[in-house]
Amino acid sequence: MFRKALAAAALVGCMIVGAGTAARAQDYQLNVNTALTQQDPIYKGLEAFRDGVAKRTDGKVEIRLFPSSQLGKDEDVLEQARAGANVAVLVDPGRLAVFVKDLGVLGGPYLAKGYDQYRKITQSELFAGWASDLDKSAGLKILSFNWWQGQRNLVTQNAVTMPADLSGVRMRTPGAPVWMETIKAMGATPTPMGWTEVYPALQQNAIDAAEAQDTAVYGAKLFEVAKHLTKTGHIGLLTGLVTSSQWFDSLPEDLQKIVMEEALAAGDVASHGTEDAISKVDDEMKAAGMSIDEIDVTPFKEATAGVYETLGYGELKKQVDAVLSGK
């Protein structure tokens, strides 16, 4: 009887140890979702993040990557993160503005020029305050927000030179208010839908147009179902790697530091890769028959200037301008 009791106690002990080990392994595993494909330069940055974290943590933190929205839409993954799941998503500021409105200004039209200016904003005290608010109010932790995906341009069936050319055009865009208002101000009818749905929607004429950065247009092969890419550059798409505050806080401080540092370094890798890839993908889309059109964007700048006031970002835009000017 004594031997049986001892054996049972030993078995329970093993189960407890095993359960504890499994819990720790799960705590240190992060599943990263992105709507982009493996061919996108941003994905190469995610691979650098995965490999850098594995190396510096001696494998204690495992990063697993899920391209093409394999874990679901960005909004769904954000909700999983808020619930404490060990997930992260590469997400635009418009979607985060649902939780912290000020973050939405980063998706405003013609806010800044190029990656360096956008990165400067996200390394400022102004941005740090927004990130802190997101952590406290929504349970979402920004690991880094320097993942530059390029300027967003128009993808249409007909040539576009001015806002009037977009009248009545149903244009896919993310559903965040700043995106919707920008597309509306440009003259089109904003039509929210998931990125993976855009190709068949254009093919079946469920929408007339889309807007996106060139590398994403190429990765999704939209050049097969649309004739024109017009270089409006209306929104600079800087995205962030966002995870669960609960998951992040479960890491020891030394691992937290490593994850944050590697996320920032990988964002730079991804962003410079994007800059290098744009001319290459443009050439390939031209070869496939798509017209890449350069236009005077002044009419679009003028048409969208009021978006900041419409959304209540007028004063905040002045603060961002001050950060960029170094004041």
Q: pLDDT, tens digit, for every residue of 308-324? A: 999 999 999 999 999 99
Classify strands 228-244 and 209-213 as parallel, antiparallel or unpaired: unpaired
First to last CA, the chain: 80
Q: What percentage of the chain has pLDDT greater than the value 70?
A: 91
Cβ(179)–Cβ(94) under 8 Å?
A: yes
Residues 183-218 pLDDT 10s: 999 999 999 998 889 999 999 999 999 999 999 999
Domain count, the chain: 1
In whole angstroms, what separates CA 325 from the centre of its chain? 26
What is the average pLDDT across 75-79? 95
Cβ(275)–Cβ(148) under 8 Å?
A: yes
Angle at 232 between CA 227 and CA 235, to 5 degrees: 120
The pLDDT value recorded for residue 3 is 41
Q: What percent helix, strand, coil does the chain show, rounded to 5?
A: 55, 20, 25
Burial of 152 (C-beta count, 10 Å sphere; 0-12/13-18/19+) = buried
The pLDDT value recorded for residue 175 is 85
Contacting residues for 282 by C-beta, under 8 A, at least 6 apart: 214, 229, 292
Total count of residues recorded for the chain: 327
**Distance set, CA 72 to CA 34, 78, 88 (Å):** 9, 10, 12
What residue has token string 């401080």?
A: 253
d(CA 324, CA 312): 20
The pLDDT value recorded for residue 27 is 54
What is the average pLDDT across 260-273? 96
The pLDDT value recorded for residue 16 is 35
Q: Name the packing angle between helices 114-122 and 253-287 (round to 10°).
A: 160
d(CA 28, CA 252): 10
154 lies in which domain range?
2-325
Nearest to 198 by CA among 150, 148, 155: 155
Reply yes or no on whether the pLDDT at 18 is more than 60: no
With bands split at pLDDT 50, 70 and 90, how would you rate the model's confidence at 41? confident
Mean pLDDT over each residue of the chain, to the nearest integer: 91
pTM summary value: 0.82
| H helix intervals, 83-224 | 93-96, 114-122, 125-138, 177-185, 198-203, 214-219
Radius of gyration in angstroms for the set of CA atoms belonging to the chain, rounded to a whole number: 22
Nearest to 255 by CA among 33, 53, 89: 53
With bands split at pLDDT 50, 70 and 90, how would you rate the model's confidence at 176? confident
The pLDDT value recorded for residue 227 is 98
CATH number at residue 194: 3.40.190.170
Residues 53-71 pLDDT 10s: 999 999 999 999 999 999 9
Residues 228-240 pLDDT 10s: 999 999 999 999 9
d(CA 79, CA 54): 26
**Distance set, CA 219 to CA 92, 121, 285 (Å):** 18, 28, 10
d(CA 192, CA 120): 30
The pLDDT value recorded for residue 8 is 39
Nearest to 62 by CA among 44, 81, 86: 86
The pLDDT value recorded for residue 165 is 98
Beta bridge pairs of residue 129:
none
d(CA 128, CA 122): 7
